[in-house]
Structure 1
Amino acid sequence: MGNKRIVVIFPGANYSADCPLLYYAGFKFELRGYEKISISYDNFLKQDKSFEECLCDIKNSVLSQLHNSNLPKYDDIVFVSKSIGTVVAGWVEEELCIKVRHIFLTPIEETLPYIKYGKGIAAVIAGTEDKQLDADVLKEHCKKENIYLKQIQGVGHRLEVWGDMDRNIEILREVVAIY
């Protein structure tokens, strides 16, 4: 049988799996024969709770969403994650004790403990103007851990330039090529 492959899409707080970077990640992997699961956080981030409490609720929800997928049966597991999803994806890999290849899009500070040498991280992609995680901090961390980092000049957390459709399509093309 063998060669069962799956991609799991972990969205950001305000960046769903249907937004361009994640939509095309799932689409590209599906074209390669991967099964796809898109995670949803429901309304956990809209609750009147602390970030840590929301994150705990999200982690529990994600485990429940992945419960029937039996990830260990797959020969190749890819997690494509964005923003808060990068924290959740890193945590899920450790919680389920599975071997995963990660593509981290715009990680946040809480993701840094999961961005480690030897963890199967294919790429970390972020903008140089990201307000969620200082570009220099991320660059130094990835350098120290020997992790491939693609920093896109002049863009923030959404990896977009407001009002410049041509540049946004270029960025999307650049990022999708890495997948």
Structure 2
Amino acid sequence: MKTYEELLSDIEEDIDLMGTSHTVYAGMEDGRITDYDYLPSDSCTISITLKELQESLHQKLLYERASHFAMSTDKTAPKLAVIFPGIGYTVDKPLLYYSIQLARHYGYQIKSISYESLPGNIKGNSEKMKQAFDIAFKQTEQLLKDLDWSSYGEILFISKSIGTVIASAYISKYNLVAKSILFTPLTETFQFSLSGAIVFHGTSDPWAKTPSICTLAEQKEVPVFLIENANHSLETEDILNNLSILRTTMEHVKHFISGE
């Protein structure tokens, strides 16, 4: 079975010869693209252009790297998950609530951050956004000041909206080696390194435009899960569709947390 790196190298050579729009046939095994060929066969049945296949494999490679980022070989060391909510999206709301349940299931201790006295109506107001970040970041530092980060074998940050900026800034300031789940990040989040991070973004998110998020994520080599027509809560107007979105999202979160 070829690695993603090997497949991407083969695709690059084929694109040079045949162009990005040339159709090939990919093969899947256990949800993983394992090979491709120029003609359909028993093992390669999925019709796809070289460009589409390249983009898909690149995202899968980034996700694989992120999901195995800084995994500890010491299975007895404690693990910690820190939760950074949004201003209105608290830890009892679906994305964070079920992520916490999954983290706890895989042996993580849970530490939740809460913010107080933040300014309202910050959307579109850079001054208020900066003020909210400064207040929330100071509160975060106070809440986490007694933690001995070196005592944990694995550290996981799960964040939402402005919480993605706070979490990423904290990792950067304190030089932590941590995996990150970024739910609906703001563009400000991408000023940081974001090693070991994955992103979930709705294409109808009014807080962050999809082209900007995709461009910034590509620059930082961060895998992005795009949810079509979803808003800043990764929801649409269709309630049953929202349940499907939540289930799919949590499946990705589960695999990311477990490293499986």
Letter in 1 for 2:88: N
Give 3-state SS (helix, strand or coil) of 1:26's partner: helix
Q: Counterparts of 1:35 and 1:159 in 2: how far apart (Å)?
A: 26
Counterpart check, 1:177 vs 2:255: no
Residues of 1 paired with 2:239 and 2:204: CA distance? 18
Does structure 1 residue 98 correspond to structure 2 residue 180? Answer: no
Which structure 2 residues correspond to residues 33-44 of structure 1 after superposition, within 5 A? 33-44=107-118
Equivalent position of 1:120 in the other structure:
196
1:11-90 matched pairs, under 5 angstroms: 11-46=85-120, 50-90=128-168
DSSP 3-state at the match of 1:81: strand
CA distance in 2 between partners of 1:57 and 1:65 (Å): 13
1:145 paired residue number: 220
CA shift at 1:168, angstroms? 1.0
- Contact kept? 1:7, 1:78, Cα under 8 Å: yes
* Paired position in structure 1 for 2:43: none
Q: How far has the Cα of 1:109 moved from its partner?
A: 1.6
Higher radius of gyration, 1 or 2:
2
Kept after mapping to 2: 8 A contact 1:72/1:98: no
Work out the CA distance in 2 between the residues paired with 1:127 and 1:171: 10
State the SS of the aligned residue for 1:126.
strand
Which 5+ residue runs of structure 1 have no aligned equivalent? none
Between the two proteins, what is the percent identity of the paired residues?
A: 28
Q: Give the CA RMSD over aligned residues.
A: 1.9
Stretches of structure 2 that go unaligned for 5 or more consecutive residues are: 1-73, 254-260
Residue 144 of structure 1: how far off its partner (Å): 2.6
Structure 1 runs of 4+ aligned residues shifted over 4 Å read 46-49
Q: Secondary structure at the match of 1:44?
A: coil
Whose relative contact order is higher, 1 or 2, with alpha carbons under 8 Å and at least 6 apart?
A: 1
1:177 aligned partner, one-letter code: E
TM-score by length of 2: 0.64
Partner residue in 1 for 2:17 = none
Contact 2:185 2:208 in 1 (8 A): yes
* C-alpha deviation, 1:70, in angstroms: 2.0
1-structure distance, mates of 2:118, 2:150: 27
Which range moved further: 87-96 or 42-51? 42-51
Which of 64, 72, 80 is matched with 1:6 structurally?
A: 80
**Is residue 132 from structure 1 mapped to residue 210 from structure 2 by the alignment?**
no
Between the aligned partners of 2:143 and 2:79, the Cα distance in structure 1 is 18
Kept in 1, the 8 Å contact 2:119–2:131? The answer is: no
- 1:68 deviates by 2.1
CA contact (8 A) 1:12 1:83 kept: yes
For residues 81-127 of structure 1, give each alpha carbon's deviation from its aligned partner in whole angstroms, at most 9, with x where no partner exists: 000000000011012221110111100121111254xx111x10000
